Structure 1
């Protein structure tokens, strides 16, 4: 045990494990985030608030059971580093760890603790090949471990790439996401309460497209979760 501890100390010295937000050395019981930064995450707590602002975004468009996000996205903030590192720097573990932290909060709500299956928003195969991983799937993995719900990465498929939604009108966003997803097996999620997972909620158009496709399934109940909401 003593030799193991010495080796761990040696490797920590050579390759320090740093907080992705503030850059301080992490303690042995910390992952990706130091305790100080973890406590400073600007949480929404929407999982405890039915009819919250996220759910209202989808009113009159698609039907969802519940919706929440872990924290508020603030452009230029230190926490923007988390999402950037997860999405563009290959730091997949950030998604898993944040998914776990978020799930610990979600189990406080009977609505979210009752989820049967976790479904990450899929990437188009070309983008998946280029990036090497799906960041939403990483988040889903962390959620799955704490919520004790399996992750389904095969039923919902992305069959068409679409361009950025940011400067499009409502109608253009609808057109841009029309027909970009399909279901491989409608029976797989029948009569299930699913948690649809994405990294950031901005316009909501991609999630709407997923929900429209998933809503074809008999008896399905759809809730949504994103790490951040802009």
Structure 2
């Protein structure tokens, strides 16, 4: 059922499915001690070209739902995807890692200094995208990162 809901969000333009998933995740997150330590949520950014094609960032929609429940702010503007890459859906594990190296940039590092950032991705397959995003934060002083995903692709 999760796969169908994510498909509705990503390919059928059903934003309500994303908000729904986010609210569910937010309720689960509130039961964890981690929830109290988070300062903000950063959804994995899409490249502007891909976002124009899709019309929205699915991770940002899910993050909005989480934020509604947890009251954590969502920061979608301070980290960008600088390289447009083709869909990873049909790529092998090694190709995915090569495809995402160095593709993110933290525009406003001072906003994340000494903060605990929750990075949100809709689905993790190999972890390449998340690792690349975490690497972009490596020069931010005192930042702590946790990762939340809605699904893990069987691989």
Shorter-chain TM-score above 0.5: yes
C-alpha distance in structure 1 between counterparts of 2:16 and 2:31, whole Å: 24
**Conserved? CA contact 2:105–2:136, under 8 Å:** yes
Which residue matches 1:199? 122
Which residue matches 2:92? 168
Taking the TM superposition and a 5 Å limit, the aligned residue runs for 1:1-230 are: 78-163=1-86, 164=88, 166-170=90-94, 172-230=95-153
- Bigger radius of gyration, 1 or 2? 1
TM-score by length of 2: 0.91
TM-score by length of 1: 0.63
Q: Secondary structure at the match of 1:200?
A: strand
Q: How many residues align?
A: 152
**Conserved? CA contact 1:165–1:173, under 8 Å:** no
Structure 1 residue runs without a partner (length 5+): 1-77
Structure 2 residue runs without a partner (length 5+): none
User: What RMSD over aligned residues (CA atoms) do the two structures have, in Å?
Assistant: 1.4
**Conserved? CA contact 1:100–1:142, under 8 Å:** yes
Structure 1: 4+ residue segments shifted above 2 A: 165-170, 172-175
Structure (1/2) with the larger helix percentage:
2
Deviations 1:94-152 (A, max 9, x none): 11111111111111111133211000000000011111100000000011111111000
